[in-house]
Amino acid sequence: MRSYSFFFLLAILAALLVSCNRLEGGDPPVVPVTADYPPVDPLFREYYDQIGGLEVLGPAISARFPYEGLDCQFTTAALMVHDPQGVDLQRFRLAPIGLQMNLIEPPVAPPDNQNIKYIDGHVIYEKFLPFYEQIGGGLVAGKPLTELHFNPTKRRYEQYFENIGLFIMEQDSTGAVRLLSYGAWYCPHDCTKLPPEAPGNVILSHSTSPEFAIAVSRLSPTFTGFPISDEYLTPDGYREQVFENLVLVADPNQPGGVILRAVPERLGYLPESPVEPQDVKGMIFFPTRVDGKGFHIPAIFSEYIAQHGGQEIAGQPIDQYRLIKNNVFRQCYQNVCLEEHTDVEGSLRVRPSPLGYPYKVLAVLPVYPAPIGQSGDTGQAVPQPSVGDQDSITSFIPSSDLPEGVAPPTPVPQLSIQVWESYPMVGADEYQEINVTVYQNDAPLSGVAPDIYLTLPDNTVRPYRMAITHSDGYSRLVVEPVEAQSGTLVPYEVCVYLVEEQKLCVKESYLIWQAP
């Protein structure tokens, strides 16, 4: 996605400042730098301080350099440009680096609340607004390009504008608003590099395939999330692309037809047994079986689903709405999982779980398309591949071959276990949740107590005994926080002990990730 067309960027800038003919062809200039951060050039000092100086724009990462009659200098957060032929406020501007990120989202409807700042088809996040106005509003930031997004890898709330990007770290109790590192992302030369852990770093390496652009626009980029893979072919010839929250698939037999991959079950979020309808405050009952049983959906989720393609897109619910961590409730559907963050106000109180990240590391399976809403004999809405098809997340006890003429012994039950974490990454102060389902001859096995052996960073092993599996073969364990540096992989092993001192074990791991 990233473009290094510096000429194109400055051409856009020049068109905004004076006319589209100010810049002509030529190689981008070489930006001289020193070993440390260069000083802000005196030409830009007043403008730099006017916006907020070091605390807002960050340090300079290049020296001042000329380009076709314009004076330019990169900071970590922006590209400052001086046009000596400009008049008054047109002499100094920030370059529209955001236009190079291919993140322009379609406009949203104006909000009913007149107190909400709505500019050029987008809502300015209310917690960004005081800072936005303090630094100069649209004159400095440019037009908004996106709605508010949550970045699960950096654990920050962010919004992109033409000239700058704004963000707040999720765990920052002060609510300090800062600028994304537009300048460091875009600088095509030997600018002073930022450390990888810098909180404002921008990582955009994929763009939405034209095959899926209309679908993303219709569903809303805040629902799909940003693309985290390029488009690729599945084993059966479908085109697929992974987004932060879901996976889109294009049917080669239906031009323009896009479906959603059933990601939750692919990741091990197994369907629970439907329940009888009850009158539950704040809930809407959704039947999923012909016998009338189903699941209760929070009204706030039902409204969110209706705004993003309807139940046909999300699919039928597959489990109950439940608390999964402090202040976070979740319910999964056939194609997405939704979360309610009760400590968050505004548009991101309800958001999809970022299932695209763990899905991206799995082996790609055939699509198994089926019409959404189709009911089978069992009352389930959409047929899915069996758990046994998912070899990448299931281990089996192999059977042994017998010599010819030797009668087989009493059949040994074939067992398998499926293991997954509720969170692909957690902070060093956050709990993890490990889920296990045990099968015998492809049927859920109850009454088994799996053991977990967690290896800590100092190589000591922390053992756990899980609760015995229920009738659905399922058991869950909450694991205490692991104090470790960000980026540490925590391996663990889940073992089920069988008859005759046999045991079946599966090794997995999860990541400790603490956003700077």
pLDDT top residue among 145 and 448: 145
Q: What is the pLDDT of residue 369?
A: 52
Q: What is the pLDDT of residue 229?
A: 94
pLDDT in tens, 279-310: 989 999 999 888 889 999 999 999 999 999 89
| Three-class SS state of 446 | coil
pLDDT in tens, 7-32: 344 443 433 333 322 322 333 344 44
Strands 425-426 and 503-512, bridge-based pairing: parallel
pLDDT in tens, 53-97: 999 999 999 999 987 889 999 999 999 999 998 877 779 999 999
Distance (Å, whole) CA 87 – CA 89: 6
Distance (Å, whole) CA 516 – CA 501: 47
375-414 b/e (C-beta count within 10 Å ≥ 16 → b):
eeeeebbbebeebeebeebbbeeeeeeeeeeeeeeeeeee
| Three-class SS state of 427 | coil
**Largest interatomic CA distance in the chain:** 98
Assess whether pLDDT exceeds 90 at residue 136: yes
Assess whether pLDDT exceeds 70 at residue 152: yes
The number of helices, as runs of H, and strands, as runs of E, in the chain is: 12, 30
Give the bridge partners for 493, in sequence order: 453, 507
Picking from 200, 193, 187, the residue whose alpha carbon sits closest to that of residue 35 is: 193
- The answer to whether 433 touches 324, Cβ cutoff 8 Å, is yes
Distance (Å, whole) CA 93 – CA 79: 9
Distance (Å, whole) CA 138 – CA 16: 14
Measured between alpha carbons, how far apart are the two ends of the chain, in Å? 24
Give the bridge partners for 444, in sequence order: 439
Distance (Å, whole) CA 84 – CA 64: 14
Assess whether pLDDT exceeds 50 at residue 127: yes
Which range of 104-113, 241-250, 445-454 scores highest in mean pLDDT? It is: 241-250
Main-chain phi, psi angles of 483, to 5 degrees: -75, 110
- The answer to whether 248 touches 241, Cβ cutoff 8 Å, is yes
- The answer to whether 464 touches 441, Cβ cutoff 8 Å, is no
Q: What is the pLDDT of residue 224?
A: 95
Distance (Å, whole) CA 11 – CA 100: 12
pLDDT in tens, 304-328: 999 998 998 999 999 999 998 888 9
- Residue 38 corresponds to which tokens in the numbers above? 């260069």
Local confidence band at 515 (pLDDT 50, 70, 90 cut-offs): low
Distance (Å, whole) CA 341 – CA 328: 5
pLDDT in tens, 373-427: 333 333 333 333 333 333 222 222 233 333 344 344 444 557 788 888 888 788 8
Strands 322-325 and 328-332, bridge-based pairing: antiparallel
Main-chain phi, psi angles of 313, to 5 degrees: -80, -50
Assess whether pLDDT exceeds 70 at residue 500: no
Local confidence band at 162 (pLDDT 50, 70, 90 cut-offs): very high
